[in-house]
């Protein structure tokens, strides 16, 4: 059994990691940490783990945690993961970081969008962006993985085949995403307070959301040139899920059926990406609790635009599930090991 630690276990992503890892046939969770909840039993924070997890939350002491684990998952806030990752890698452990601290090889991008100095530029340059559908071979050899953000996961998977095929006109890409409230984390805030969020729908951080450079970086790599994306996130009155609608002006005529064939071929070997047939569009209800990304495509002959819709669970394929998918690749296991749970419907 591979021994793993979850550092930063008190948040939604940490709890979801535990839920998935505790059902993984090749993994034993040997340590969980939380600075705020040190000493508490994990079930006090996540009652759903009762009778399955008997661990208590520890303080983050890298040497002590490293003595108990072969691989370390970091579910810490941005900036907090930076030094912790460096310490664990220095001890010889492989690290999967769910924060934004290691999503960019070029730390100047991080510093621009996050407004903080990155003090581990060498390790950042070593990091691999953990989107398996695009970087599987690099992930196999990685010492440190920067797990993608939830919005970028849905957006990049929605647009990758179109961009790779040269069918998206540069600078015409618009990404419109709606996320459940859990995407904001477990720390209370007025915008996420029940009376504020329930029965409401609002855009936020228009034009300045920190996930924008992730989307642009990956799509630019596929296009072979710099692409600029207009990205607008919305807060939707639901617990989980991200529904993304992406628009791009086509460089040449292509029917909906042709786009469906393109997407089906691109994702033919990808277990966790389900391309719906022409006329089919995803619903977040169908992916809730699962690691799947569902995609629907449409070619609008009136405007000459492709309209691509994707749905993921922001806590699973958008965070914890994708992290475990990366672990499976790193270990040479079946990529879907421990992740074959289907979405809960209705």
Q: Listing from the earlier edge strand, what are the strands of the sheet with 242-249?
A: 202-203, 229-235, 173-179, 242-249, 305-312, 293-300, 273-275
Q: Supply φ then ψ for residue 274, to 5 degrees.
A: -110, 110
DSSP reduced 3-state for 10: coil
Rounded to 5°, the CA angle 120-122-124 comes to 70
Q: Is the preceding omega at residue 346 within 30 degrees of 0, hence cis?
A: yes
Q: In 82-121, which positions are buried (b, 16+ CB within 10 angstroms) versus exposed (e)?
A: bebbbbbbeeebbbbbbbbbbbbbebebbeebbeeebebe
Identify the residue whose tokens are 């993608």: 148
Alpha carbon distance 112, 228 (integer Å): 16
Closest C-alpha among 10, 53, 46 to residue 30: 53
Gap between the Cα atoms of 201 and 264, Å rounded: 32
Q: Distance (Å, rounded) from C-alpha 163 to C-alpha 246? A: 12
Q: Is 293 a catalytic residue?
A: no
Torsion on CA atoms 79, 85, 86, 87, rounded to nearest 10: 120
- Measure CA 119 to chain center: 23
Tell me the two tokens of residue 118.
């990155």
Q: What are the backbone dihedrals phi and psi of residue 190, each rounded to the nearest 5 degrees, phi first?
A: -55, -40
Closest C-alpha among 149, 168, 344 to residue 254: 168
* 27, 150, 197, 330: the active-site residue: 150
Catalytic residues, by residue number, are: 150
């Amino acid at each position: 059994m591979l021994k793993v630690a979850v550092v930063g276990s008190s948040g939604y992503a940490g709890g979801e990691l535990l839920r998935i890892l505790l059902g993984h046939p090749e993994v034993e969770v040997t340590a969980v940490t939380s600075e705020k909840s040190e000493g508490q039993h994990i079930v006090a924070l996540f009652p759903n783990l009762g009778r399955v997890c008997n661990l208590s939350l520890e303080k983050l002491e890298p040497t002590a945690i490293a003595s108990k684990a072969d691989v370390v998952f970091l579910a810490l806030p941005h900036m907090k993961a930076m030094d912790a990752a460096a310490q664990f890698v220095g001890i010889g452990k492989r690290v999967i970081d769910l924060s934004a601290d290691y999503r960019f090889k070029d730390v100047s991008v991080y510093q621009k969008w996050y407004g903080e100095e990155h003090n581990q530029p060498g390790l950042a340059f070593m990091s691999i962006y953990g989107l398996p559908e695009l970087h599987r071979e690099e992930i196999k050899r990685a010492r440190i993985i920067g797990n993608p953000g939830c919005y970028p996961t849905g957006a990049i998977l929605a647009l990758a085949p179109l961009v790779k095929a040269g069918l998206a006109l540069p600078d015409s890409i618009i990404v419109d995403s709606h996320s459940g409230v859990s995407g904001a984390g477990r720390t209370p805030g007025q915008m996420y307070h029940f009376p504020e969020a329930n029965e409401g729908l609002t855009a936020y951080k228009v034009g300045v959301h920190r996930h924008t450079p992730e989307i642009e970086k990956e799509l630019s790599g596929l296009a072979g040139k710099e692409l600029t994306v207009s990205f607008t996130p919305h807060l939707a009155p639901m617990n989980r899920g991200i529904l993304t609608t992406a628009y791009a002006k086509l460089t040449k005529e292509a029917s909906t059926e042709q786009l469906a064939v393109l997407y089906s071929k691109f994702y033919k070997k990808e277990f966790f990406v389900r391309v719906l047939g022409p006329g089919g569009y995803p619903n977040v209800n169908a992916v809730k609790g699962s690691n799947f990304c569902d995609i629907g495509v449409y070619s609008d002959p009136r405007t000459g635009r492709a309209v691509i819709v994707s749905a993921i669970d922001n806590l699973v394929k958008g965070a914890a599930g994708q992290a475990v998918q990366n672990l499976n690749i790193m270990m040479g296991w079946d990529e879907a090991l421990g992740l074959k749970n289907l979405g809960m419907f209705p």
